């Protein structure tokens, strides 16, 4: 059934090498995978394994040294702001703009008319549950609310793909769990293709259909886990046997080339 779905992102043999003149650092090594339309894919791996580099390559922000990214079958060479939106660990809101103006900002850059973009921003804010905060400034909001504004801003241009670089990494655990639920709710409503980077095994598995596992340097994908867990996902799933088995699988993949395998799979959770 899922094989019928169209492929939106194809990564073919991506390599990224930094500092070629001096000691070269290999950030990505032969990374290949595909992402299907409307799916939720997460990429999990330890800090500094090249996750962010991969996201920047997928966003067209950084060129790969070799290999290529195809989006809808066409090679991606630069950012595609109307098709792909990017979210970062920090909400990166513009602090002098009100919440609604922040959501409008990409639309303003794309040249949308004021009335139209105001309307769109209002819709997005009510989608993320912040309709009442449209006139506030970012510093008046909590960290979780700021990331929700950031989600609204990402959604505003109606992109097909949302790339997220540890968007909840800076939040406390309770907020993080709530934001995960919130994101799933929004995803189920909008059916965007989401590529979500995290270093939390639990978060990766809880959110996604497919979990790509990346190893420590040099950055390569060491395995793909299909998360066949029922949707809509609830917090209880995390305690289920299937969840535990899948998480152990991920843990084994991550730790196998470290030489510090921990058989109970709990160390980094």
Partner 1 sequence: MKTLLRGLMIFFVLGLWEAVRRFDLVGPLLLASPTEIVDAFVKSWFDYVIALRLTAIEIAVALALAWTLGIGAGTIAGLRPFLNATTGPLLSSLFAVPLISWYPLFMVWFGIGITSKIAYAVVSGFFPIAINTMNGIAAVDHQYFLLGRAIGCSRRQLIFGILLPMAMPSIVSGLRIGTALIVIGVIVAEMLGSFGGIGYLISYYRSIYATAHVYLGILVALIFALVANWLLSLLERRFTHWRVMQIQQ
Catalog residues that contact partner 1 under the rule CB under 8 A: 56, 59, 61, 79, 81-82, 84-86, 88-90, 92, 94-96, 105-106, 109-110, 137, 139-140, 157
Q: Which is nearer to partner 1, 106 or 219 (CB)?
A: 106
Least distance between partner 1 and beta carbon 19 (Å): 14
Q: Which is nearer to partner 1, 148 or 247 (CB)?
A: 148
- How are beta strands 7-18 and 66-71 bridged, if at all? antiparallel
Q: Which is nearer to partner 1, 157 or 219 (CB)?
A: 157
- How far apart CA 166 and CA 88 sit, in angstroms, is 7
Using alpha carbons, list the distances in angstroms from residue 116 to 80, 111, 125, 151, 192.
Answer: 21, 11, 14, 19, 22
Q: What angle do CA 109, 197, 19 make, to 5 degrees?
A: 80
Least distance between partner 1 and beta carbon 96 (Å): 5
Q: Which is nearer to partner 1, 157 or 180 (CB)?
A: 157
Q: Which is nearer to partner 1, 125 or 201 (CB)?
A: 125
- How are beta strands 210-214 and 161-165 bridged, if at all? unpaired
Least distance between partner 1 and beta carbon 137 (Å): 6
Q: Which is nearer to partner 1, 18 or 88 (CB)?
A: 88
List of residues 6+ apart from 233 with CB closer than 8 A? 184, 206, 207
Task: Decide if 179 contacts 14 (C-beta within 8 A).
Answer: no
Least distance between partner 1 and beta carbon 239 (Å): 35
Task: Decide if 55 contacts 86 (C-beta within 8 A).
Answer: yes
Least distance between partner 1 and beta carbon 117 (Å): 13
Least distance between partner 1 and beta carbon 142 (Å): 11
Which two tokens mark 32?
A: 């290949």
């Amino acid at each position: 059934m899922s094989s019928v779905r169209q492929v939106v992102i194809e990564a073919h043999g991506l390599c990224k090498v930094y500092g070629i003149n001096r000691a070269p650092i290999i950030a990505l090594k032969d990374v290949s995978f595909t992402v299907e339309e409307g799916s939720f894919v997460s990429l999990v791996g330890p800090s500094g394994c090249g996750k962010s580099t991969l996201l920047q390559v997928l966003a067209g922000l950084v060129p790969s040294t070799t290999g290529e990214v195809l989006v809808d079958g066409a090679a991606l060479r630069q950012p595609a702001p109307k098709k792909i939106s990017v979210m970062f660990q920090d909400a990166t809101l513009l602090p002098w703009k009100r919440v609604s103006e922040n959501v409008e900002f990409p639309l303003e850059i794309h040249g949308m008319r004021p009335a139209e973009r105001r309307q769109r921003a209002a819709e997005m804010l009510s989608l993320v549950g912040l309709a009442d905060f449209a006139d506030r400034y970012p510093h008046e909001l909590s960290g979780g609310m700021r990331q929700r504004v950031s989600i609204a801003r990402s959604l505003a241009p109606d992109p097909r793909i949302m790339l997220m670089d540890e968007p909840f990494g800076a939040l406390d655990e309770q907020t993080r769990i709530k934001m995960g639920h919130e994101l799933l709710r929004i995803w189920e409503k909008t059916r965007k293709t989401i590529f979500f980077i995290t270093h939390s095994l639990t978060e990766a598995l809880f959110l996604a259909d497919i979990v790509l596992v990346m190893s420590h340097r040099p950055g390569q994908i060491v395995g793909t886990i299909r998360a066949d867990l029922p949707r809509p996902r609830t917090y209880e799933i995390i305690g289920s046997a299937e969840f535990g088995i899948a998480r152990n699988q991920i843990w084994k993949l991550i730790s196998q080339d470290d030489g510090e395998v921990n058989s109970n799979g709990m160390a980094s959770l």
